[in-house]
Amino acid sequence: SSFQVVFSQSKVAYCFDFGGAFQKIAPGYLPVSRVYHSPNYLWIDNVTEVSRQECSDPLLRDFVSGKKGEIWVGLTKGDYLVTLFLYDHSENHGPFDIYLQDKKVKSGVVINKRELTKLELSAEVIDSTLRIKFIAGEGKTFCVNGMVISSDQNASLVKIFKDVPDVGLPSVEEVIQKGSPDAKNALKQICDWFISQ
């Protein structure tokens, strides 16, 4: 059974399912693997994707892990409730610390195998970016399966980097109308932007 989160005064704005790009996604969640998906949210560290096929819940089956990891979400200014889901069917993780907007909010978090940990954190977004960082102790790892962002205001995702190229691909009709686009050049543009950042 997937976890449905309900807050009394806040409404769920965005739900993210962290893990492998080819895993089943929890219903109602946006998939976020370690690979760049969107100019509105991304892992800025090279995290590891882990999958536990013996676990049937799509939210808990896969997760991202590593020594350190930081996820950025572009959001309109305001106050948010961030709920993190941390679970591994097979191994323990931690201790690790969690930073929110560059301030340490949780110390020494330990995830015991087959025990779901749900953490609720309050965040204020001023500069249009929600930043959550996980830093594990010496020789240890963090794990995080999913994140739900709630707000009592109308929240919108925004671009984290203003000059990022749009990720929208042209429709088939557009391609036929305008002739064949230069795929190599389009890819070079995006790659050049990544390298410059």
User: Residue 64's Cα: distance from chain center in Å?
Assistant: 9
Mean per-residue pLDDT for 172-194? 68
Q: Which two tokens stand for residue 116?
A: 């779901």
113 vs 4: which has the higher pLDDT: 113
Q: What confidence score (pLDDT) does residue 7 get?
A: 45
Task: Choose the most confident range, by mean pLDDT, from 21-30, 39-48, 165-174.
Answer: 39-48
Q: Average pLDDT for residues 105-110, to the nearest whole number?
A: 98
Of 77-91, 105-119, 158-172, the range with the lowest mean pLDDT is 158-172
Question: Which residues have C-beta within 8 Å of that of residue 26, sequence separation ≥ 6?
Answer: 2, 15, 17, 57, 58, 59, 146
| CA-CA-CA-CA torsion sign (190, 32, 97, 126) | positive
Taking the whole predicted model, whether its pTM rises above 0.75 is answered as yes
Q: What is the pLDDT of residue 9?
A: 54
Average pLDDT (48-70) is 94
Quick one: pLDDT at residue 176?
64
Could you report the per-residue pLDDT of 137-155, keeping only the tens digit for each?
999 999 999 999 999 888 8
Which of the pair, 154 or 94, is modelled with greater confidence?
Answer: 94
The residue ranking higher by pLDDT, 131 or 192, is 131
Question: Which element (helix H / strand E) includes 71?
Answer: strand 68-74
pLDDT band at 122 (very low <50, low <70, confident <90, very high): very high
SS3 156: coil
